[in-house]
Chain A
Amino acid sequence: MPIDILMPALSPTMEEGTLSKWLKNEGDSVAAGDVIAEIETDKATMEVEAVDEGTIGKIVVPAGTENVKVNAVIAVLLEDGESASDIGAPKKAEAADAPKESADDAGGKARAADEEPEAAASGKVPAAPKTDVASDPDIPEGTEMVPTTVREALRDAMAEEMRANDDVFIMGEEVAEYQGAYKITQGLLAEFGARRVVDTPITEHGFAGVGVGAAMAGLRPIVEFMTFNFAMQAIDQIINSAAKTLYMSGGQMGAPIVFRGPNGAAARVAAQHSQCYAAWYSHIPGLKVVMPYTAADAKGLLKAAIRDPNPVIFLENEILYGQTFDVPKMDDFVLPIGKARVHKQGKDVTMVSFGIGMTYAVKAVEELSALGIDVELIDLRTIRPMDLPTVIESVKKTGRLVTVEEGYPQNSVGTEIATRVQQQAFDYLDAPIITIAGKDVPMPYAANLEKLALPNVAEVVEAVKTVTYRT
């Protein structure tokens, strides 16, 4: 039997990539381990090795093809005695779609493909349905919008701030020569050099402290954590040193520093790599906590965070990195920290979410719209200081509130919002507030369990039906 060579996945969240180059031609014989092709994603370029020996019978996907789905057949390998005539019809289309069709037991792509349809498959599809998105009052009317990935937006924000202020530098693991573990710092080393783009050893506690010390001395460090899960090693420096020094010094010195990196669950990386820290850091006076969803917010808020004289926790999400949104083309696009954005106006129910939670919210709002329920969706954007007035104003209008986030349910951002809303707008509520969160379990690895542990669109839809008594 000829052996299908499939498009490999290079990371837990990869869905497709470019087959940039074939290093073998049809008819060439290969041994296991031989490099046969190069593939490229928005994150990395990787070599594809043959896993069996044989002869390249057919190259199915020619070099230069973009958006090749993971698991698509890219070539066929012939074993001894076989010839090209033994090759059946290629099965490329089905291969890529397989996980979608059997999402319950699918592999790693289940979460990305099934749960975030607007992100779906391709990074080129705008994540937010444009027709529904309310315009951001912070973006001037008529501004030209440029489709940009969250990844590019973050990089652009840092580059612009580094150009503007020599005191700004970035340090972290793999930020320089590797170009960023998630490619967020791509190109920065080339432009700014090793003085300002600093690869650190794997030593979170230590380099967080070094960053805070440099900030206390007046520099403006951006400290990248490869993921916020690893920042647990550094949390003492973040809280006891960065957050509290301004207060403890009677206002003499603080730490103008940004701690940023991917937060929360990616896909199939299990318990120790899948935790949302929004609620954790939002507990701490002295910190600001930002968690953007769109690329525009990522850019405008990261620039604001870098300029902020306080320590800012900037929580990103790996799954959002590759998603594309419109970003205003402005010389200096800075958004205010601490201000929520009404993502979609509505009159029946208020829904509050932030970060990747918005992907469930956006989808649910679409489905609910089809049922005739008009949801007002608020993207909190900043968790601390929290823009409660925007939430209260909306709840006074709708009388109903549902919150959506991926973090654990106890002492979540949603329960905080619920507490404050019932204190400040009790008389306006027509139904108990429902808080949708991740389940109260460490993140499991198995695809089906992981899916169950995360919020899903159906339960968000159900929650809205409940608060509108439509069940």
Chain B
Amino acid sequence: MAPRKSAAAASRKKPAEKSGLNGGITEFDKATELKAYEEMLLIRRFEEKAGQLYGMGFIGGFCHLYIGQEAVVVGMQMALKDGDQVITGYRDHGHMLATGMEARGVMAELTGRRDGYSHGKGGSMHMFSKEKNFYGGHGIVGAQVSLGTGLAFANKYRGNDNVAVAYFGDGAANQGQVYESFNMAALWKLPVIYIVENNRYAMGTSTVRSSAQSNFSLRGNSFGIPGHQVDGMDVRAVHAAAVEAVAHGRAGKGPIILEMLTYRYRGHSMSDPAKYRSKDEVQKMRSEHDPIEQVKARILELKHASEDDLKAIDKKVRDVVADSADFAQNNPEPDVSELYTDIVL
């Protein structure tokens, strides 16, 4: 790559008005609020159903639910355009739904059936959609950060203005390859948006117990990568930051880090003993900061929709999820011949 100058120094300048990158919020119009509500609700209901199916034995292995973090991926996705790529780790069902992947195909993959996105060969942690530019779904903590940087490399190589969005958690943020990627992304000014989904716990280890610098927005400082903390429970804040970060990437200014302050209500995986945090802490987040309840309250307050209208959305979402669960339970297992397909082309 030709440009060899170091990346732009971190810009922490305060503009006169609050922008999305320093906590500003752009109010949503009615249509956007309703869209955000529906998309987040779909993820919530889908994940609740996945949890149920896991308990019933339809889903095996590891299953990491996104409940509580819905605003992050929904707000980000709203700022993207066709051709922008998304890649994440193993807490990935929400990202798939947000990129427009079909609930049926995702759920059928969770149950290991033939019409799952990977024909039952990937499972919860390894799912992809070329059509939706969703590049997985990766089970190795941090690997998606280098891969996502490579997606951005391809954009720059091709000279298009697409951006790659690489999601990773506060746990992955301590992996070495994250910083190797930061260095190259800044060096070559790659259009990548690094999203640190800081849900406060890497499995059961809280950020303060795992991270010498637990303000993850500062983790790009050594490379001159600007970083910002965002209220990841408020979809408007996420969206406002996303719009600016995406513009930064499209303009050829290189990588940017958004630390999304968020929270997962459920355990790390389905077998989480939940000994590392109090029930009160979880309850407080649910009752005071729930991303979906926040949108719902605004919609009702501003009379964008009535209770009945929202119930209709709820029903629509429940129907999609019920249909996906039904499909995923009744879809046949992969043909045994699938064992030996898709190994090499």
Contact = CB atoms under 8 A, between A and B. Distances in A.
Classify chain A: how many residues form its interface, as a range: 35 or more
B150 A247 contact: no
A213 B341 contact: no
A216 B155 CA distance: 12
Contact of B121 (A219, A247, A310): A247
Interface stretch (A36-44, A133-141, A204-212, A316-324): A204-212
B336 interface: no
* Most chain A beta-carbon contacts within 10 A, residue among B118, B146, B176: B146
Interface string A340-377: 00000000000000000000000000000000000000
A286 B128 contact: no
B345 interface: yes
Interface in A179-226: 193-195, 198, 200-201, 203, 205-219
A169 interface: yes
Contacts of A215: 150
Nearest to A198: B1
* Most chain A beta-carbon contacts within 10 A, residue among B85, B146, B150: B150
Nearest to A256: B345
A206 B2 contact: no
* Most chain A beta-carbon contacts within 10 A, residue among B137, B145, B152, B177: B177
Contacts of B87: 213
Interface string B120-136: 11100011111000011
Interface stretch (A46-54, A234-242, A458-466): A234-242
Contact of A210 (B4, B85, B149, B155): B149
B180 A205 contact: yes
Nearest to A203: B180
Interface in A223-268: 236-237, 240-241, 244-254
* Most chain B beta-carbon contacts within 10 A, residue among A214, A240, A310, A385: A214
B150 A249 contact: no
Given A209-B143, A215-B150, A249 B2 contact: no
A117 interface: no
A203 B183 contact: yes
Given A213-B153, A236-B140, A250 B177 contact: no
A173 to B, nearest CB: 12
B121 A241 contact: no
Contact of B130 (A194, A208, A253, A385): A253
B182 to A, nearest CB: 9
A303 to B, nearest CB: 17
At the interface, is chain B mostly helix, strand, loop or mixed? mixed
A211 B150 CA distance: 6
A207 B177 CA distance: 9
B341 A251 contact: yes
Contacts of A212: 146-147, 150
Contact of A213 (B130, B137, B147): B147
A209 B154 contact: no
Contacts of B151: 213-214, 216-217
A66 to B, nearest CB: 37
Contacts of B121: 247-248, 250
Contacts of A216: 135, 147, 150-151
B128 A217 contact: no
Given A210-B184, A219-B154, A248 B126 contact: yes
A248 B119 CA distance: 9
Interface string A290-311: 0000000000000000000110
Interface string A14-53: 0000000000000000000000000000000000000000
A205 B176 contact: yes
B225 interface: no
Given A214-B157, A219-B157, A209 B150 contact: yes
A288 interface: yes
Contacts of B130: 249, 252-253
Interface string B328-345: 000000000000011111
B147 A247 contact: no
Contacts of B126: 244, 248-249
A442 interface: no
Interface in A116-135: none
A246 B343 contact: yes
Given A194-B2, A206-B180, A214-B153, A252 B128 contact: yes
B117 interface: yes
B312 to A, nearest CB: 35
A224 to B, nearest CB: 15
Nearest to B176: A205
A252 B135 CA distance: 10
Contacts of B4: 194
A192 to B, nearest CB: 12
Interface in A141-188: 169
B187 interface: yes
A336 interface: no
Contact of A310 (B149, B152, B153, B345): B345
B181 A209 contact: yes
B344 A288 contact: yes
Contacts of A244: 126
B148 interface: yes
A254 B343 CA distance: 9
Contacts of A211: 150
26 contacts: A194-B1, A194-B4, A195-B1, A201-B183, A203-B183, A205-B176, A206-B177, A213-B135, A213-B146, A213-B147, A216-B135, A216-B150, A219-B154, A240-B139, A240-B140, A246-B345, A247-B343, A248-B118, A248-B121, A249-B118, A249-B127, A252-B128, A253-B130, A285-B343, A286-B343, A385-B344
Given A213-B164, A250-B118, A310-B345, 4 more contacts: A213-B148, A219-B153, A250-B121, A286-B343
3 residue pairs, one from A and one from B, having the closest CB atoms? A213-B150, A209-B146, A206-B180
